[in-house]
Chains A and B, each alone.
Chain A
Amino acid sequence: MRVAAPIIATVLTLIVGSILFAVLGYDPLATLSAFFLAPLNSINGLSELLLKASPLILIACGLAVGFRANVWNIGAEGQLVIGAIAACGVGLFYPDPESRLLLPFMMLAGALAGMAWAAIPAFLRTRMSTNEILVTLMLTYIATLFLSWLVHGPWRDPAGFNYPQTALLPATAMFEPFDYSYRLNGSVFITVVAVFAMWLFTDRSFLGYKMSVSGAAPLAARYAGFAESSAVWIGLLAGGAAAGIAGMAELSGPLGQLSPQISPGYGFAAIIVAFIGRLNAFGIVLGGLLMSLLFLGGESVQMTLGLSASLTRIFQGILLFLLLAADFFIFYRLRRIPEHA
């Protein structure tokens, strides 16, 4: 029954969406098809679907490890930004730009930087019992400002006509697209590995089991001697590493350089993906594809109907609302209480 809720929620989101379009004065069927079908109508559309789903799934896998243990990392967006910054630093300043090691080093830098950014809330939560929700979120604002400073200041491309962006990375620092007509590139394999690794960890490892116990039943976990602090550390570091690598993959994939705005909110959307996927590796894959379609749909209706791409965020919110509501009807059975019983 656990899989029913996401499906119900998706269908209901479509219904609410068509009502919304009708209220706004658009033909609901035409708009829905522009939102959800048009993006999938071409090879390029499918390539974009996977390209956007990849970071969402990757980050959601990392976050879900934490969410299972009740560790609320909602700052993946900031960890993604820091990961991209570190990777870009390696890509721009590595002494040998022809080296084939450049890409692996960048990935390592992205992962480590994301982990370092996530280590701050982990340290503060375990040592100072500071709430990680607010710390991860504040660090996201700080990371974005840091990025803005870098691209406006020290890392600005001197040959870039004063645009706030870094120089383009050398070809060796980029993932090669499968086909130069489309943007999809080899970094999707990182996501495939991450999904498998997450499945192994959560479903097949003792450590993953211990973390699930400390999330579901903290007192039982303490009684069994599972340390809460290690769950916090692992949960946050997993999310930080995944988001950092996702940032690197965005940089070495579709972006090619840093600018003040490098993510359309993947870090936040991945939270929803993790929930839609029931914190389960394969559920997250489906959730990530759905969320990616929401991003594409927003762009599609913006181009074809002139509607705002912020519809994506409205749909994301509605989807999560409805998912949570659907859970209620699945986990509880309603019964009528006789009057004055």
Chain B
Amino acid sequence: MDLFIAIFTGTIIAATPLIYAALGELVVENSGVLNLGIEGMMLMGAAFAFWAVIAGLPMPVAILCGALAGVVASLLFGVLALTFLTNQYAAGLALAIFGSGVSAFLGRGFGSAPIDALKRIRIPGLSDIPVVGPMFFRFDPMVYLALLLFGLITWFLYRTKAGLILRTTGESPETAHAIGYPVIRIRYLSVMFGGLMAGLAGAYLSVAYTPLWVENMTAGKGWIALALVVFATWRPLRVLLGAWLFGGMTILQLQGQALGLAVPSELLSALPYIATIVVLVVISRNRQILALHFPASLARPFRPAS
């Protein structure tokens, strides 16, 4: 039972950075923009949040620093992709490389000492219920914030007018523009939101998940988040399920290494990457499903004809 609880809670925690990053990218892609630079934004978020903790700032401020670093990074991409109408693939790649450089540069001064991780909450009464308590009521606040944001994003995209406008911008920017909506401004806002979420994802990694500075600590999680959005066919609930699936895989892999399975640890470490490919293949084999849910103007620059 203890092992089950450990795997369950581990899965939820490992999935949290993916939930932040992938939900952010989901909103960005629903507005018709493809930002490949999540990995770079996450790394900047991780580095700035970690820096803030070392500088002695309180934890919530540190996490905010990470989120803001993500927003600033996303604006670098936004200016190129939205104002300068560049190829979005290239602009996103540039951001990924730039972000990894900036985080490595900052991280050189961080040393190798661990920091005090984000505290887990304890709700008197609830947290002490056997089994249920440790399974649901002993996480750190960012785990609950991720779920809250999931609910808000789902509600926003499918239950509000603003969400409908955002999705229209992604399906047909020409239509949105003709009706009189500011397509570029909407896309800027969604790109910044994506940056905020990626920054939070990075901050979670460095101040909660592994409160220890390791260069390139995201290890491809930003790219896996991109794959999750495709896997989820651009819908929030499936992002959540996909993130838990990948979180579970990460934890099983760690448990496998801890149990000393007769499998090379590198093979276990490769599992999430292999799974990403498999999942992408399975979902993209069915072109109809993708065509149905794919934001039709994804990655296509839009210039309002004025």
Contact = CB atoms under 8 A, between A and B. Distances in A.
A156 B108 CA distance: 30
B249 to A, nearest CB: 13
A71 B43 CA distance: 27
Q: Is the interface of B mostly helix, strand, loop or mixed?
A: helix
Given A313-B97, A321-B76, A275 B280 contact: no
A316 B95 CA distance: 10
B220 interface: yes
B280 A324 contact: no
The 7 closest A-B pairs by CB, nearest first: A317-B98, A313-B101, A310-B104, A328-B84, A320-B94, A314-B101, A149-B266
B104 A324 contact: no
B104 A138 contact: no
A149 B264 contact: yes
B202 interface: no
B31 interface: no
A154 to B, nearest CB: 10
Interface in B51-98: 76, 79-80, 83-87, 89-91, 93-95, 97-98
Interface residues of B, number: 47
B263 to A, nearest CB: 11
B182 to A, nearest CB: 15
A317 B99 contact: yes
A271 interface: yes
A332 B280 contact: no
A155 interface: no
A322 to B, nearest CB: 9
Interface string A56-83: 0000000000000000101000000000
A129 B283 CA distance: 10
Given A128-B285, A310-B108, A317-B98, A337 B274 contact: no
A145 interface: yes
A215 to B, nearest CB: 11
A314 B267 CA distance: 32
A134 B220 contact: no
Contact of B105 (A138, A146, A314): A314
A22 to B, nearest CB: 16
B277 A139 contact: yes
Nearest to A74: B93
B102 A131 contact: no
B224 to A, nearest CB: 8
A32 interface: no
B149 to A, nearest CB: 24
B223 interface: yes
A324 B264 contact: no
A327 B266 CA distance: 42
Contacts of A139: 273, 277
Interface in A128-155: 128-131, 133-135, 137-139, 141-142, 145-146, 148-149, 152-153
Nearest to A324: B86
B28 interface: no
Contacts of A105: none
A272 interface: yes
A134 B266 contact: no
B86 A134 contact: no
B284 A141 contact: no
B113 to A, nearest CB: 19
A129 B285 contact: yes
Contacts of B87: 324
A272 B274 CA distance: 27
B169 interface: no
Interface in A311-341: 311-318, 320-321, 324-325, 327-328, 332, 337
